[in-house]
Structure 1
């Protein structure tokens, strides 16, 4: 089922139990645009079946927010122009060489190219996978790209991100809606979840320069301005407190700066920024 944001924007909410991220639909007077392709053939088909129930213009564009498997493995189901930034394209080039039979999947698992959940979804939700080959994108952009769907503009930009090196956001100016994908999340390396402190403020600046009032995230669905303001505040406060790989020092710094102990979200972020220092020292 799709959720309606406005007459021109719908989205399929994330389903974290199946590693399904939020998928978006933006419609203009002539064309429609899809944000992210889904984590499998089945995810994409489910989304397209829901779109068929709407009276919207034909899908002309599909934008992939970044090259993590759960956002692009459904791309072959879309008869549309696939758009990615140049860094995402480089990463997808690797996936285009992959085979998806059981033997190949086990090889990728052993070499840590694919995780258990990714392989499980591929095995259960991509039919005829022995012959499956990921399609190539059609349009590659460097920094920004503006698309006109017919009296409905979509602004694409590759931005700084604490989650990946290839994040694309999609802003719809007259709706004041921005699709963020996973760009505001942290990431995992060496089994440590961490936030890249050096990219935090540049990322926030990249997002806040747009006059958005609603924020669609890959694994949160939709947030309003108040929720995002709180999110940014907690991230900034946590980042400011961390200047080394010592959690004890970070907590002491936070307490001195704020005259209180961190709340649960702030503590989570503090630990993630500490992990960033640990990873840098490895």
Structure 2
């Protein structure tokens, strides 16, 4: 079961649960109001966070911001029933899903259209069981293109559209006073629209943008919060792989050799070998 934790003066999170792909949910409490970052993947997921906030005496959220449109971040919007803020492409993507009934046949059709993948289908079935009729897609209320700033009362949240391979609408949310950056899933590979892929130039751009903030705490939606040094150490090898890909293009063997030398290993570890294939797909697109 997910656990709740206060990670800074104004921020409480409920940790990700990989069993049904539940992402981190966050409540940022200011003197005027509390902001919820992402809605969750089901009403059950949302209700659990609400109960945990209440148990810890944290003011309940009064406004919601979405990091991107994917099901695990948005399907619980109806449970919260809050005014919601999202990038314009988030609204566009959700609008196309409103009429879906989420039956097996409907999901198979979405899979064939490459709007979702097999993992998403499996996780939705596991999360909802036989109650998929309770899925209700909600359109966001307030849309922005590039950025929006939210004043919570002594706490400022800056939401910036960054895009990337994972989702065209991906956003970073920076809690200025707590020096905490929520990255959503922006640093992940594409998961819909065909084979998974990383675009080296995009990945490196997203890292530069993340490091440009004066953040001391970094939170990825399906990971654990990390301090700046830990985050840079964790991402350093992936950054190097992206740099080799940017330099050598589709020369897989050269990249693998250079990366193995960099890691001081005889052959590329599985996780980097797999990521290299994603970068090769991205290189072919470029």
The 5 A counterparts of 1:56-71 are: 56-71=58-73
> Partner residue of 1:14?
16
Alignment of 1:70-89 (within 5 A): 70-89=72-91
Paired position in structure 2 for 1:249 = 254
Distance 2:8 2:224 in 1: 15
2:210 counterpart (204, 207, 212) = 207
2:49 match: secondary structure: helix
Change (3 A) 1:17 1:225: same
Residues 116 and 40 of structure 1, relative CA distance in 2, 3 Å threshold: farther
Given the alignment of the two structures, is residue 171 of structure 1 paired with residue 177 of structure 2, yes or no? no
Q: Take 1:100 and 1:255, find their aligned partners in 2: how far apart are those partners?
A: 44
Q: Which residue of 2 aligns with 1:276?
A: 282
- Alpha-carbon distance, 1:108 to partner: 3.2
Q: Which runs of 5+ in 2 are unaligned?
A: none
What is the aligned length?
A: 279
**What is the SS of the residue equivalent to 2:177?**
helix
Using the TM superposition, give the Cα deviation of residue 197 of structure 1 relative to its aligned residue in structure 2, in angstroms.
Answer: 1.2
The aligned residue for residue 3 of structure 1 is 5
Deviation string, structure 1 residues 47-70 (Cα, Å, up to 9, x no partner): 112112132334221111111111
Partner of residue 183 from structure 1, selected from 186, 211, 218: 186
The farther-off stretch of 138-147 and 45-54 is 45-54
Q: Does residue 1:93 correspond to 2:95, yes or no?
A: yes
- RMSD, aligned α-carbons: 2.6
Q: Which residue of 1 aligns with 2:200?
A: 197
Q: Cα offset for 1:156? A: 0.6
In structure 1, the partner of 2:25 is 23
- Partners of 1:161 and 1:200 within 8 A in 2: yes
Say which SS state the counterpart of residue 240 (structure 2) adopts: helix
Relative to 1, partners in 2 of residues 1:104 and 1:276: Cα closer, same or farther, differing over 3 Å? closer
Alignment of 1:216-231 (within 5 A): 216-231=219-234
Report if aligned partners of 1:30, 1:57 keep a CA contact under 8 Å in 2.
Answer: no
Higher mean C-alpha displacement, 28-37 vs 194-203: 194-203
Equivalent of 1:37 in 36, 39, 43: 39
Distance in 1 between the 2:268 and 2:126 partners?
40
8 Å CA contact 1:162–1:203 kept in 2: the answer is: no
Contact 1:146 1:155 in 2 (8 A): yes
Instruction: In structure 1, list runs of 5 or more residues that go unmatched.
Output: none
Q: 1:260 to 1:130 in 2, by over 3 A?
A: closer
Quote how far apart the aligned CAs of 1:198 are. 2.3
TM-score normalised according to structure 1 size: 0.87
For residue 18 of structure 1, give the secondary structure of its aligned residue in structure 2.
coil
Answer with 33-42 or 99-108: which moved more.
99-108
Structure 1 residues 125-134 or 72-81, which shifts more? 125-134
* Aligned mates of 1:255, 1:11 — CA distance in 2: 37
